[in-house]
Structure formats: C-alpha cells, structure tokens
Amino acid sequence: MSVLVWVAVVLIGGAGSVVRFLADGLVSSTAGRDFPFGTLAVNISGAVILGLLTGLALGHDQALLAGTAAVGSYTTFSTWMLETQRLAEGRQHGKAIANIAVSLVLGVAAAALGRLIGAHL
Amino acid sequence: MSEPAISRAGRPAADGPTATATAGPSSRRPRLALPRADRREIAAIFVGGATGTLLRAALAEAFPHAATTWPWPTFGVNIAAAFLLGYFVTRLQERLPLSAYRRPLLGTGLCGGLSTFSTMQVEILKMISAGAWGLAAGYAAASIAAGYAAIHLATALVRRVRVRQ
C-alpha cells in the first residue's frame, strides 16, 4: 500500500470530521438541543452510506478511503456515548435510553437499507 | 470524600461537544444555520480528526478480522475514544479556563475521528447476516456498556481530582 493512500486517509479523515461538525450544528440548530438529534442524524446517515459502500463490494484501497476514512470519521461513537451519559446524569433517563435504542435500531436498519441499495446499483 | 457532592458541584449542561459553536441567545429559535466557527476552529477539528482517523485506520489494517469474530480494532478505538472524550470534555468544561481550540481539536476532532458508529453498525449487520445473532447482540451490548462506563469513569476521575485541590 502506497504512502499516497495513507496521506489520503489523513486528509479525508480530517475533512470527514469537519463535515460531521457542520452537519451536527446544522441539524441541532433546527431540531433543538433537548435531544442529541445532530449526532443521531450524522450517525444514521453515515450508516446508510457505509452500508451502501459495503453493498458495492469495493476494492481494498477504495473501501479504506471511502469507508474507513470518510464515513468512519464522519460518524462518531464517543459523542453518542457522551451525550447519553450526560442525559442520564441530568436525570433524563427516558431520553438516554431512547438515544441508545433509536440509534442502534435505526443504525442497523440504515446499514441494511444502504447495503440493499448498493447491491442493486 | 463524598461522591454526590462532587457530582453536584460540577454537573455540566447536557449538551454535545459542538454545542458551544452555536450557543447564544438566538439559538433558542429553531432556525437552519451552520455552526458559527472560525477558520482556526475548523483547522483544529481537521487536525484532530485526521490524527484520530489515521490511528483507527492503521489499527483496522493491522488487525483484520472475519465477519463472525469479535471486531477488536473498532471495539478498542471506540472505548478508548469514549474514555478520552469524557476526560477532555469534563476537564475543559469544569476545570480549565475556556479555550476556543482544545475542545475542537481533542473532542470533536481526535475523539470523533478515532471512534466510529457506522463501522460498528455494518459489523453488527454482517454478524446478523451470517446468523451470528448472539455475537451481534453481545458486541452491541458490550460496546454500549463499556462506552458508557468509560465516559462515566473518566468524568468521575476528573471531578475527583478537582475536589482534592
């Protein structure tokens, strides 16, 4: 694997993180901050795209750049967990449980849908 | 050392790592708007995200795994990133003076780039497709339990140090 691929991983990873920040802010500004809709939107949309890429059966380098680097950096596990813990800490247990359940169920469903679409492209 | 007093002393608002970007008097009104961020803040997210992604991608390449085995690279980076994010965010919100670039660099960038939600979901999907329902359920449950515990532990550690001083 060439150095160029790893340079691309770095650049794409940085860009994916900036896009996540912007998309999260965009959704949060509309949907409000009582529930972490921004992270949810980013994670579910990312799961659809990664599912789609999986369905396309890309080559190794393509999968590394588009999947691991781009979509991987665009979505986040750590913020999802932080927001859940902060909700629970603020005694909003219903929202904390909903944040876990909705993300997980929609996430797997989104990945399945994306893979289905990708396989038919 | 009373734990409840520590928690009460430094409970932050239930906001996400990016909340500071648009927080303001006008953010109450629902309005579609990109977060207000200057170039240096965006640059900090880029650098942090690039570093986190490089680490995650390198681990994924170094330790490939079959669809029906435990995805240690993803599991490892996710739990590590959760611990680091809990540490950074609590420390930056409750201990250190307000810094414009530490949180974008370390929280939104590094931890966000290091951790991944989408890869975890596709791994779960592949386990389900292969009929490994127990592994899928175990992986999802262990990731969430360990990720949550990591945030909790890191937060408690930062708050404990604060009280001693």
Report the residue of chain B nearest A74, measured CA to CA: B113
Q: How far apart are CA A22 and CA A18, in angstroms?
A: 6
pLDDT at B162 (0 to 100): 57
Q: Does residue A40 surpass a pLDDT of 70?
A: yes
Q: What is the DSSP letter of A35?
A: S
Give me the mean pLDDT over the A11-33 stretch.
Answer: 95
* Partner A contacted by B71 (CB < 8 A): no
Q: Does residue B13 surpass a pLDDT of 70?
A: no
Give me the mean pLDDT over the A98-115 stretch.
Answer: 98
Q: Which has the closest alpha carbon to A87: A44, A34, A41, A37?
A: A34
* Partner A contacted by B144 (CB < 8 A): yes
Mean pLDDT lowest for which of A32-36, B12-16, B81-85?
Answer: B12-16
pLDDT at B4 (0 to 100): 35
Q: Does residue A94 surpass a pLDDT of 60?
A: yes
Average pLDDT, chain A: 96
Q: Does residue B8 surpass a pLDDT of 80?
A: no
pLDDT at B10 (0 to 100): 38
Which pLDDT band holds residue B157 (cuts at 50, 70, 90)?
very high
Percent of chain B with pLDDT over 70: 78
Q: Does residue B68 surpass a pLDDT of 60?
A: yes
Amino acid identity for residue A10 in this structure: V
Report the residue of chain B nearest A46, measured CA to CA: B118
Q: Does residue B7 surpass a pLDDT of 60?
A: no
Q: Does residue B120 surpass a pLDDT of 90?
A: yes
Q: How far apart are CA B15 and CA B23, in angstroms?
A: 10
Give me the mean pLDDT over the B83-97 stretch.
Answer: 89
Which pLDDT band holds residue A57 (cuts at 50, 70, 90)?
confident
Question: Which tens digit of pLDDT belongs to each residue from B105-118?
Answer: 999 999 999 999 99
Separation in Å, CA B72 to CA A99, A108, B62, B68, B85: 24, 19, 11, 12, 20
The B residues from 92 to 131 touching A (CB cutoff 8 Å) are 104, 107-109, 111-122, 124-126, 128
A76 and B128 within 8 Å at the Cβ level: the answer is no
Report the residue of chain A nearest B37, measured CA to CA: A22
Percent of residues in chain A assigned helix, strand, coil, to nearest 5: 85, 0, 15
**What is the ipTM for the molecules in this complex?**
0.96
Which pLDDT band holds residue B101 (cuts at 50, 70, 90)?
confident
Which residue among B108, B140, B150 places its CB closest to the CB of A21? Answer: B108
Question: Which tens digit of pLDDT belongs to each residue from B18-32?
Answer: 444 444 444 455 567
Give me the mean pLDDT over the B37-49 stretch.
Answer: 93
